[in-house]
Amino acid sequence: MQRRADFLYGKATGIGSMPHREATAALELIQETMPWGPHWPQLPQRSKDEGLIQQYLGPLLKLELLDWEKGIPPFFVNDNYSWLEKAARFYELYLAFQEGKQKEEVLSLFAFPPAAAAGFYKFLDVKWDALPLKPHFLKGQVCGPLSLGLQVNAGDQTSAFYHTETREIITKALTLNARFQIHFLKKFSLPVVIMIDEPLLFFYGQLAGISLSREQIVQSLAELVSAIKQEGAYAGVHCCSGADWSIIFEVSPHIVSFDAYAYFDSLLVYGEQVQSFLNKGGCLAWGLIPTTGEDLKAEGAASLKEKFWKGIQRLARQGVNEGLLARQYLLTPSCGTGTLSVAQCSQVYSLTFDLQKLLQGHPG
């Protein structure tokens, strides 16, 4: 039976990316506005190595399974005599970890390179367990296997996700990175949440992604969710556009994170799955705070509170229990803020904080 995640309910956290060039400034904003659920910040404007894709490729580049030349997507080097030897080395490391051998060595290999995750390592320097306002949980994030696999070349000018061998390597590499994050975040003796970011899930069922296999998506996501749970952490899946949400509900995460500001309607046809998810203690992460400049100008905490309650009423008309919806929620921005200005990002995070306070003070 899945563990309940009651500590999440009514709290707020961020998606991941922020526009700051210095980790300290980003963390100060996070501590001020998301004290109960701080996340480590991804800083893509600080360095190209901190992009959603680049951040997770370091181990595969180090093992020489991947190459990356300027101006072209990263690609698997599987067309030469040494491929089998290098792939075998990867699986030896993976199996050694699974068997409880060389755990520190393997985690070290699949750790973020320091240049690729300044926000993660600065996050570890904060004494989260000794703060006057101790967080209820700490949040990390990992790129989803579909979103990474569609942006890496298999070596034959097609996406790596379409090929069994390269898809499995990507998925297993991501599970080891998630385990690495959990290993270090758990040192604070606080619950750890790892969110799987799958922005490209919207391709499934679209013309552009017509050859994507539902079974392959579910299998890869389920493997990553399972690895997170095995480490004693809580798993979530985030998609910032419309998607086939039944895929996410099928892999049984603790959290389903959606863009409730621009893509709320995409969830309405899944009322039965939402109800089942909530019955098991699941938490819906409402991405209610807009992350575009024009929408930010138009909204305030009061208008977003109204949007939240209207959303609950609309889901209730689809057979979802209104009481569970009003209790088992988490608040987030609708997407990452890495492409915004620092001032806009501050506005997004402050609005998230204000909305959380407003909903807690006036639940009806």
Sketch the domain layout of the chain as residue ranges: 6-361
Among positive and negative, which fits the CA dihedral 60, 66, 70, 71?
Answer: negative
Task: Tell me how many degrees the CA angle 157-245-5 measures, rounded to the nearest 5.
Answer: 115
CA distance 38 to 27: 8
Per-residue pLDDT of the chain in tens (364 residues, 90 and over written 9): 567 789 999 999 999 999 999 999 999 999 999 999 999 999 999 988 898 888 999 999 999 999 887 657 888 988 777 999 999 999 999 999 999 888 999 999 999 999 999 999 999 999 999 998 899 999 999 999 999 999 999 888 889 999 999 999 999 999 999 999 999 999 999 999 999 999 999 888 775 555 789 999 999 999 999 999 999 999 999 998 889 999 999 999 999 999 999 999 999 999 999 999 999 999 999 999 999 888 999 999 999 999 999 999 999 999 999 999 999 999 999 999 999 999 999 999 999 999 999 998 754 4
At 210 the pLDDT is 57
At 165 the pLDDT is 94
For the domain made up of 6-361, give the CATH fold. TIM Barrel (3.20.20)
At 207 the pLDDT is 54
At 363 the pLDDT is 46
Residue 357 CB neighbour total at 10 angstroms = 12
Nearest alpha-carbon partner for 330 in 284, 273, 274: 284
At 360 the pLDDT is 87
At 362 the pLDDT is 52
Question: With a threshold of 0.75, does the pTM exceed it?
Answer: yes
Q: Residue 73 to residues 156, 282, 357, 358: CA-CA distances in angstroms?
A: 12, 37, 43, 45
